[in-house]
Amino acid sequence: MVALLKISPVFLMAGLMIASNIFEVIELDILQIAPIATVYAAIIAAIIEKISFKDLVDSAVDNVKEMQLVFFILMLAYAMAEAFMSTGVGAAIINMALGFGLTAKTVAVTAFIVCSILSIATGTSWGTFAACAPIFLWLNHIVDGNVILTIGAIAGGSCFGDNIGLISDTTVVSSGIQRVEVIDRVKHQGVWSILCLVLAAVLFFISSLGLPNEVGNAAEAINQIPEEAWNYLAEEKPVAIDLLNQVKEGVPYYMVVPLILVLIAAIKGIPTLACLGIGLIASLILGLFAGTVGSIIEFLGLVMAGFKEAGSWVIVMMMWVGAFGGIMAKMHAFQPLSNFIAKTVRSVRQLMFANGLLSIIGNAALADEMAQIVTIGPIIKTLTDENVECSEEDMYKLRLRNATFSDALGVFGSQFIPWHVYIGFFTGIASSVYPLFEFDAFHIIKFNFMAIVAVFSILLLTLTGWDRFIPLFGLPSGLDVKLKKKELKPNKAK
């Protein structure tokens, strides 16, 4: 009974998320739910463990302090996303792809590749989908393509950068919770992600081979977007309007250079904050030359808008979640679950596979990828830290996989969950910008090859050990990496 009470704050958080996102009996945001769960956790800790108010506050604050670097990364990430969407970086990526001329055979695979690159550049799957869906759905209409295939390509591509992009909030938050560097996380999963991308692109191309060869035009597609669709986008994702207008009017191709510089810097191992700074400075300088930035003051306004967006939601949410995790760790709330998993699994790989399953089950239960990351992320970190005996270097690699689990099975896993907020947003946008077809959840799921390949491959590779054949992606193994056999010690605040 005591163990159940200790973990009940997680059930409270999950219950409120389910009631808000799935059943919609209440309207609460994670910014409201996290403080409620934190206060409740503090009350439980005080009653059951007799922990003083001062110790509870110290535990909460100390855990938040460890996330300070993450907060700065999030602020710069949101600022760079705002800059890339507004200065023409996103539009240049789209126009370069569309310049080759699209047919029904190539519209889906092109949509997939463009959305993948744009989502890396902007760090947002929702913004990418809102910007690209109008273009590619109407292009698909013009060239007589397969609309369900194309919508699956747009959805899968939009999720790609949200899972691996340096400026994606899910990438940053999942890495922060596992206490790993974002750059290291991206390197860990980089080759695997690219292989998934290539395989998915091949599947989209093969699936389109029997379609017509008529060539479509982006400007014509944008002109066909109905007024109601423009109004809907203006309300849901205003930045998509600017990007669509830039695509129609055209921007210099050299505006893709800021993205290329960021990617090169990341590959070279330059710290995340420096990578983001390079992207911001490059987009300012080239934007001034291209005319997409009117002045430095105007650009600083974009930066401030990014800071405000990060500070008004994700950073505050992370602070409350950090406080929640500190209190839960202080009262050893996850120890019973840790002990149960330790008795069930027979190897480190089975433990990591169980962490993956917990992530996707949590995603289905909470119907929100960020809620899954902040709720299940600390649990799988505790399970690994408390049950695996290995060097600090090997433990860091296990944490990298946990961060990848949280993010990949949150973002890509959402594409299999009909009631997920991702699916609701995608179907809502698609139906609004392309009213000739009434989309439902299963239209997003059916041909979402990227999600299919990513989710099933990461679980299979983890369980079988085949991940060792993928550079930088293999989990540590050998006699020095094993499950602890002795009685587990209580979880201490990290």
29 CB-contact burial (10 Å; exposed 0-12 / middle 13-18 / buried 19+): exposed
Give the pairing of strands 482-483 and 388-389. antiparallel
Task: Determine the Cα–Cα distance for residues 128 and 122; give it in Å rounded to an integer.
Answer: 8
Residue-level pLDDT, tens digit, the chain, 494 residues: 788 898 898 888 878 877 887 677 888 887 898 899 999 999 999 999 999 999 999 999 988 887 788 888 889 888 988 898 889 998 898 888 777 778 899 999 999 999 999 899 888 888 888 888 888 898 888 888 999 999 999 999 999 988 888 888 889 989 999 999 999 999 999 999 999 999 999 999 999 998 888 777 777 788 888 888 888 888 877 777 888 888 888 899 999 999 899 888 877 878 888 888 999 999 999 999 999 999 999 999 999 988 998 888 888 887 887 888 888 878 888 778 777 877 889 999 999 999 999 999 888 877 788 878 888 898 899 899 989 999 999 999 999 999 999 999 999 999 999 888 888 889 888 888 888 888 988 999 999 999 999 999 999 999 999 999 999 999 998 778 999 875 544 444 44
Give helix 182-207 / helix 107-122 axis angle, nearest 10°.
170
Predicted pLDDT at 429: 86
Asked if residues 177 and 378 have their Cβ atoms less than 8 Å apart, the reply is yes
Predicted pLDDT at 492: 47
Nearest 5°: the CA angle 388, 392, 396 is 80
Asked if residues 402 and 368 have their Cβ atoms less than 8 Å apart, the reply is no
3 CB-contact burial (10 Å; exposed 0-12 / middle 13-18 / buried 19+): middle
Predicted pLDDT at 478: 79
Q: How many CB atoms lie within 10 A of CB 474?
A: 17
Residue type, 125: S
Mind spelling out the 3-state secondary structure of 167-187?
A: CCHHHHHHHHHCCCCHHHHHH
Q: How many CB atoms lie within 10 A of CB 166?
A: 26
Task: Determine the Cα–Cα distance for residues 119 and 160; give it in Å rounded to an integer.
Answer: 7
Predicted pLDDT at 288: 96
Predicted pLDDT at 488: 43
- Where do the structural domains in the chain lie, given as residue ranges? 2-483
Residue type, 209: L
Distances (CA, A) of 68 to 62, 172, 282: 10, 12, 26
Task: Determine the Cα–Cα distance for residues 89 and 286; give it in Å rounded to an integer.
Answer: 10
Predicted pLDDT at 61: 92
Task: Determine the Cα–Cα distance for residues 207 and 147; give it in Å rounded to an integer.
Answer: 12
